[in-house]
Amino acid sequence: MQSAPISKYRPFPPVVLPNRQWPNRTLTHAPIWCSVDLRDGTQALAQPMNVEEKLEYFEMLVGIGFKEIEVGLPSASQIEFDFCRRLIEENRIPDDVAIQVLCQCREELITRSIAALRGARNAIFHLYNSTSPAQRKYVFNASRADIKAIATQGTAWVRHHAAPLVAAGTRLRFEYSPESFTSTELDFALEVCEAVTDIWQPTVADKIILNLPATVEYATPNVHADQIEWMGTHLSRRDRTLISLHTHNDRGTGVAATELAMLAGADRVEGTLFGNGERTGNLDIVTAALNLYTHGIHPGLDFSNINEIREVYERTTRLEVPARQPYAGELVFTAFSGSHQDAIKKSWAVREAQPPDEPWDVLYIPIDPADIGRSYKAIIRINAQSGKGGVAYVLEHEFGYSLPKLMHKEIGKIINDVADAKGTELQPGDIHEVFRREYLERTAPITLQHFKSTERDSDVSCVATLLLDGRSQQLTGDGNGPIDAFTHALATTTLPKFEVQSYAEHSLGKGSEARAVSYIQIKTERNLTLFGAGIDTNIELASIKAIVSALNRALAKK
C-alpha cells in the first residue's frame, strides 16, 4: 500500500443534487426483478453450466417467481444460441415469463440474436455499448459523438430487424444499457439514453427499459442513488421509461447501493442468486428480496425452500454459498455467544406463546427461519464461548429435556469445559452424550438395585437396596413422601448428609413410549449444591434415581 498521502487513487466525484429526495423516502413495494444468472452469472463461472444444467436452473428461476430472465448472449456461441432455441421449441417458457437476450451494437450479432428469439411469445432485447471516458479513450479511441452513434445505430437495427418477429406475434420489449453508466459523465449518459429513446419511440403502455449499470462499483451507495435520481429527474420521457439497476459488488456494497437506488426511483433490478458474477459478483437478489420481506414487503419471489435452491445453485455452478451469506449460509441462524444464546432462548419462548400473526421479535434472528425452509435445530450450536442458555436450548429442542432454570448454569459450565478441552464445536449429539454420562449413567460409587415404597395414612415407608463400593446394603426409611423417605434411609449410612433444595419433573416422549425425567437439586453438609437427574417409566423411580445421580456427582467432587 502507498504511504500517506495517497496520490495513486482519487475520491469518486459527488453528484450535484441539492434537492435530493431519496433520503426521506421509504421502500413500499418490490421492484421488477430480472435474473441474469444464466448470462452474467454463467459467464463468470470457471466451468460454465452445460445445457442440461442451464435448463434445470431456468426451471428453478421460474419456480421462484422470476418473470424476466436473461438467458444468454445467443450471438456469442452456438451453445448459447441452442439453449435459447430449446427453451422456445420445447415450450419451456410460461406465457407470463419474458426471456431476455443480450447483444452488442453490431448488425450481424443483432440479426443472430433475433433469429434465436423466433417463436418466442414474450422477449426482451437487451442492447448495450460502453460509454465511459476510460472506455472511449483506451478501448474505442472514440469521441462522444462516435459512441452515441453506435448506440443509436444499434437501436435502429434492432427496430428494423425485429419487425418480422413482432409481426409474427412476439411481444418484444427493448432494453438499452450504457455500459459503465456509473463511470460515465451524467450529462453524456443522459444524452445517449435520450437519443436511443428517440429512435425506439416507447409509449406509456410499452415502455423502454433503460438499464443503468454499476459495471464496476467505484462509488459509495449514496452517490449511486444520487446518479439514479439525477437521471430520473432529467429524462424527458420518464413516464415511458423503466429505470433498471445492475449493480456489482466490488466495494462490497452492491445490496446497499441497490436499496438506495430503489429509493431514488428505480423500477427494476437485475441480479443473480447469491450474488454470482464477475470479480466480486453481482447484486445478490436473495438478500435484496428477503431484506424487503423482513420489512413486511412481499418481494414477489418465493424463497420458502432456500435449502433446495442453494443445493441446485451449488451443484450447477460448482460454487459454494459462504457460511455467513445472509439468509442462506450454514451459520446465519447460529449463535455461539452464550449471552446471545440465552437471549434467543428467552425471546423464542415468548414468541411461541404468541399468536402466529404477531410481529416477529426474536432477538438476533431478523427472520423466522421456517419462512425460508430453514430448521430451528441449527439455531444454536455450542463451543467454548457458549453459555448456559444455549446448552439448555439444545437439550430441550433436540432431545426433550426441559431443565430447571437453576440447572442451566451447572450444565453450561460442564459443556463449556468439554468444548474447551476439545477445542472444537460440539454437535447436539456430543452435548447429549456429556449430559447422559454426567447425570444419567453414573453408577459409582452408588448403584440403585431396588426400591419400593409403601404409603400408610399420610406417611410413606421405603425399602431400598444399594450397591455401595461393591457391597450390597438394604436400607429403610420413613417420610412424608418417597423422596423424603429415601433421604432418611440414606441418612443411616456413612454417605454425606444432604438436603433436597428443589425438584422438577416432566414426561419425555409421548404415548406408550413416554418416560418420566426428574431433576433434583441437593445441598450437602459441605454446602456443595448440585443437581442429579433420573429417567424411568415410573415417576417415583425417576426421582429416586435423580437423588442417586446427585449423590454420585457430589462424591465424585471429593
What is the DSSP code string of 208-241? EEEEEEESS--S-HHHHHHHHHHHHHH-TTGGGE
Q: What is the pLDDT of residues 430-467, one digit of tens each?
A: 999 999 999 999 989 999 999 999 998 889 999 999 99
Is 31-317's fold the same as 446-556's? no
Q: How many residues are there in the chain? A: 558
Give mean pLDDT, residues 263-288. 97
- What gap in Å lies between CA 391 and CA 432, rounded to an integer? 10
Confidence of residue 217 (pLDDT cuts 50, 70, 90): very high
Average pLDDT over the chain, rounded to an integer: 94
Domain ranges of the chain: 31-317, 338-439, 446-556
Give mean pLDDT, residues 82-87. 96
Q: What is the pLDDT of residues 286-307, one digit of tens each?
A: 999 999 999 999 999 999 999 9
- Report whether 320 contacts 314 (CB < 8 A): yes
Q: Of the candidates 550, 524, 535, 543, which has an alpha carbon nearest to the alpha carbon of residue 484?
A: 543
* Fold assignment, 31-317: TIM Barrel (3.20.20)
Sign of the C-alpha dihedral, residues 306, 307, 310, 315?
Answer: negative
Q: What is the pLDDT of residues 152-209, one digit of tens each?
A: 999 999 999 999 999 999 999 999 999 999 999 999 999 999 999 999 999 999 999 9
- The class that CATH gives domain 446-556 is alpha beta
Per DSSP, which regions of 265-313 are E strands? 268-271
Is the pLDDT score of 268 beyond 70? yes
Q: What is the pLDDT of residues 493-521, one digit of tens each?
A: 999 999 999 999 999 988 878 899 999 99
Is the pLDDT score of 388 beyond 80? no
- Starting at the edge strand found earlier in the chain, the sheet holding 459-468 runs 446-456, 459-468, 471-479
Is the pLDDT score of 376 beyond 60? no
Residue 268 dihedral angles phi and psi, to the nearest 5°: -145, 150
Confidence of residue 341 (pLDDT cuts 50, 70, 90): confident
**Whole-number CA gyration radius for the chain:** 34
Which pLDDT score, from 0 to 100, does residue 389 have?
77
